[in-house]
Amino acid sequence: MKDLFKILRLLVPYKRNVLLNALCNLMVACFTIISIPALIPFLRLLFGLESVDQTEPSGPLTTNNALDYMKYQLVVWMDLYGRETVVAWMCVFLVSVFFFKNLFRYLSLVVLAPVRNGIVRDVRQALYRKILDLPVGFFSEEKKGNLISRFSADATEMEWSILNVLESIFRSPFIILGSILYMLYVSPQLTVYVVLMAVVIAFLIGTVSRTLKKNSSAAQGQLGETLSIVEESISGQKVIKAFHAEAYLFGKFQHSNNTFKRMLDRILWKRDAASPMSEFFGMVALALLLWLGSREVFNNGVDPAFFLTFLFAFFNVIDPAKQLSNAVFNIKKGIAAYDRIEEILQIDTKHQQTGTLHPAQPFETEIRFKDVSFVYPASDRTVINKLNLTIKKGEKIAVVGPSGAGKSTLLDLLPRFYDVNSGSISIDGNNIHDLDMGYLRGLFGIVTQDPILFNDTIYNNIVFGQKNISHAQVEEAAHMAYAHDFILEAEQGYQTIIGDRGVKLSGGQKQRITIARAILKNPPVFLLDEATSSLDTASERIVQAAIDKAMENRTAIIIAHRLSTIQHADRILVMHQGNIVEQGTHQELMQSNTEYSKLVQLQHF
């Protein structure tokens, strides 16, 4: 029940539709129940019982003498209007009952459709919002396929396994309750027997469904693994083909896909057992009911026509009971899917947003690292070790060192993509943890080694999230990034769609688009992480010129392997194993004949 309440909470924003659905299903149940005694006149005519007793019952109409009043009224109508007219009226009445029954059933589905689709939409929106709020470190641990499967497979499973059965959840209990009440009226003894049988059947079916939630959760996790292989294969096509790894990856995918198929088989076997089991046990109960009921009829304990309607009411219980048993299985699967979604939704990100300070003037004096240490989650290697550093406003700082020295991590700590484990980072004397996150990240323009572009227009990739930007400003940023000319040569200029990850552009063009994006933001600090290392010589010169122009009158921290790009920096920091081992200008470090000069010699510079 606790798991079910988690799902029912999602219905709160749609309570109006839910109430209308419940009302419509109540009407369906009412007309279903009405259709049961409506058959009695036909059955009495069939058995020739309409003239057994023509004496009007005495006293007011009560539940105890309702049967006698019904028999008497049927006889009166037949005497007044004739058998055929009465039968015609009864036919019209039955058609009307079933018309309204199905009308309200359709209306129940109409009002439920916005609920089903709305909840799936809400869950996906909440999941996407959460993914946007998650720290960068989360994505280094979680596979993309697992995240995508929560949007697609898990959300769809929720719709089909839970929301698809809301109709039966809201309607079937009404029909079962109404049918049982009618059965109690006809024969309390037989009804008690039916209820006991229902309890036994529910217990037997419940034993099968207990492991379904656990199995479903494992299957959804396996699907995430399979989708991760697909995602990696799509993004790594060049490497796959270059190393002839198609067969290897196909074997890996085939193994994962077959494992998922076997898990899904077991789940479906258990789920699909619900309906046959309930139908078989229902027929066993019916056979025993026919045996016990016939004895009551033979002993004049129950009117034959009423016993047949009792059986009809019993059948009205079986079908909704089957729907509910299927719903139990489906809900188990759906809750497993929702639990996987909740794993993401319940990740605490509030500590990422603790700061509220929003200084009036952005970056006035300095950035300071004080005894900063950092270790990546799920790792025991210290990447930054008690680092101390002060960067003055307007200073151009270059950071060099071997791979794994902590250069990129140093930059990632500034906009709080990761939080320090010890020590502090301050800007103008304010700890960055105390600063408003939007304000803090607004201070930095970031250009990375791999240009991050989106399948959109060039214009939207440059503007990207910024508001109140004019076309003239975009063009000015593109001019400064030496991107304007090649943009105009594109098929539709600034409105050209550049494809997934900017596949329609060259490496240098993509990098200049990202530089234009950073320039348009007009940040006081530039963070450049290997911005030219993957470019050819001609592209590097153009991009480097764009970077130099963008950094005019700004503070910049530049990471570069190509030392030729940073020799004119105000200060060069040499990092090794998370520490700054030396610093100074290019000339000063070359004269020292230590770590920096060795790096220069290795590059034959």
pLDDT digits (tens, 9 = 90+) for 305-331: 777 777 777 777 777 776 776 677 677
Q: What is the mean pLDDT of the chain?
A: 79
Domain span at 190: 2-10+114-347
Q: Residue 239 pLDDT more than 70?
A: no
Rounded CA Rg of the chain: 37
Most trustworthy range by pLDDT among 36-50, 501-515, 542-556: 501-515
| 419 occurs within a structural domain | no
Torsion of the alpha carbons at 54, 59, 62 and 68, rounded to the nearest 10: -10
Give tens-digit pLDDT for 26-76.
888 888 877 777 666 666 655 555 554 556 666 666 655 665 666 667 667
What are the two backbone dihedrals, phi and then psi, of residue 9, each rounded to the nearest 5 degrees? -60, -30
Average pLDDT, stretch 422-444? 90
The better pLDDT of the pair 289, 388 is held by 388
| CA 469/CA 478 separation, integer angstroms | 13
First to last CA, the chain: 71
Average pLDDT, stretch 484-501? 88
> Using an 8 Å Cβ cutoff, are 165 and 159 in contact?
no
| 353 occurs within a structural domain | no
CATH number at residue 464: 3.40.50.300
> Using an 8 Å Cβ cutoff, are 588 and 574 in contact?
no
CATH number at residue 271: 1.20.1560.10
| Position 212 confidence tier, pLDDT thresholds 50, 70, 90 | low
The reply to whether 341 and 457 lie within a common domain is: no
Give tens-digit pLDDT for 372-382.
999 987 778 88
| 160 occurs within a structural domain | yes
Buried b (16+ CB within 10 A) or exposed e, 390-428: ebeeebbbbbbbeeebbbbbbbbbbbbebebeebebbbe
Give tens-digit pLDDT for 445-457.
888 878 888 888 9
Average pLDDT, stretch 471-484? 88
| CA 549/CA 481 separation, integer angstroms | 8
Which residues are within 8 A (CB) of 421 and not within 5 positions of it... i.e. 6 or more apart? 373, 374, 375
Q: Residue 292 pLDDT more than 60?
A: yes
Burial of 439: CB neighbours in 10 Å, binned 0-12, 13-18, 19+: middle
> Which of 522, 552, 574 represents a domain boundary (last residue)?
522
| CA 53/CA 570 separation, integer angstroms | 114
Q: Residue 605 pLDDT more than 50?
A: no
pLDDT score of 204 = 65
Q: Residue 437 pLDDT more than 70?
A: yes
Q: How far is residue 20 CA from its own chain's centroid?
A: 27
The reply to whether 213 and 327 lie within a common domain is: yes
Average pLDDT, stretch 526-553? 75
> Using an 8 Å Cβ cutoff, are 519 and 445 in contact?
yes
State percent of the chain over pLDDT 70.
80
DSSP state of 154: I
Q: List the one residue out of 573, 239, 578 whose CA is nearest residue 423.
A: 578
What are the two backbone dihedrals, phi and then psi, of residue 50, each rounded to the nearest 5 degrees? -70, -15
> Which of 288, 317, 347 represents a domain boundary (last residue)?
347
| CA 337/CA 150 separation, integer angstroms | 8
Pull the structure tokens for residue 50: 């309409």
Which residues are within 8 A (CB) of 204 and not within 5 positions of it... i.e. 6 or more apart? 277, 281
The reply to whether 226 and 341 lie within a common domain is: yes
Number of domains in the chain: 2
Q: What ranges in 299-406 are assigned the alpha helix state H?
A: 304-345
Buried b (16+ CB within 10 A) or exposed e, 193-206: bbeebbeebeeebe
Could you tell me the strand order of the sheet in which 396-400 lies? 444-447, 525-529, 555-559, 396-400, 571-576, 579-584
Give tens-digit pLDDT for 404-421.
888 889 998 998 888 899
Buried b (16+ CB within 10 A) or exposed e, 168-181: bbbbbebbbebbbe
Average pLDDT, stretch 147-164? 75
The reply to whether 335 and 464 lie within a common domain is: no
Q: List the one residue out of 162, 171, 238 whose CA is nearest residue 9.
A: 162
Q: How far is residue 41 CA from its own chain's centroid?
A: 54
pLDDT score of 370 = 94
DSSP state of 36: T
DSSP state of 57: P
> Which of 314, 347, 380 represents a domain boundary (last residue)?
347
| 359 occurs within a structural domain | no
Give tens-digit pLDDT for 82-97.
777 777 887 788 888 8
pTM recorded for the entire structure: 0.69
| 582 occurs within a structural domain | no
What phi-psi label fits residue 62: left (phi over 0), alpha (psi between -120 and 50 degrees) or beta? beta
Angle between the 83-133 and 15-35 helix axes, to the nearest 10 degrees?
A: 160
| 213 occurs within a structural domain | yes
| 48 occurs within a structural domain | no
Give tens-digit pLDDT for 253-291.
888 888 888 888 877 777 677 667 766 776 777 777 778
| 129 occurs within a structural domain | yes
| CA 228/CA 144 separation, integer angstroms | 6
